[in-house]
Amino acid sequence: MAKWANDIIMDTGLQVVKTGITSYGPCNKMVACSAQPTNYTEANATYALADAAMSGSDFTLANGDVSGRKLTVGAKASQMIDASGTATHVALVDTANSVLLYVTTCTSQALTANGSNTVSFPAWDIEIADPA
């Protein structure tokens, strides 16, 4: 299970990540994780290696590359590495409501925390294809 989305994402669509609804979202933090988190605590603490603050302006909703819709997650450069480990996943979380919103894989990268090392998150997409 390499990629995961909370059911509320599928029910409400990509907009919940950007602007939120009721008690979910918006995403206000992107986290590089050393393993696939399955809940908020794992994403925000247990497997967290580095993170970036996020806001609605970091997300762009548009047509999908092939069909459907996509939400582009903006790049974040030079983010402080908080813990050493190998990043294998990226999680989007809502810290205000302690909710894990979305998880994806990333290119495996060794991160070393020494008080000055940083990591950059490239831009990436969440896509929902048109029903086939």
User: What pLDDT sits at residue 113?
Assistant: 97
Question: Which letter does DSSP use for residue 115 in this model?
Answer: S
pLDDT (tens place) for every residue of the chain, 132 residues total: 566 655 556 557 788 888 888 778 799 999 999 999 999 999 999 999 999 999 999 999 888 898 888 899 999 999 999 999 999 999 999 999 999 999 999 999 999 999 999 999 999 999 988 776
Phi and psi at residue 3, in whole multiples of 5°? Answer: -125, 150
**Model's pTM, two decimal places?**
0.90
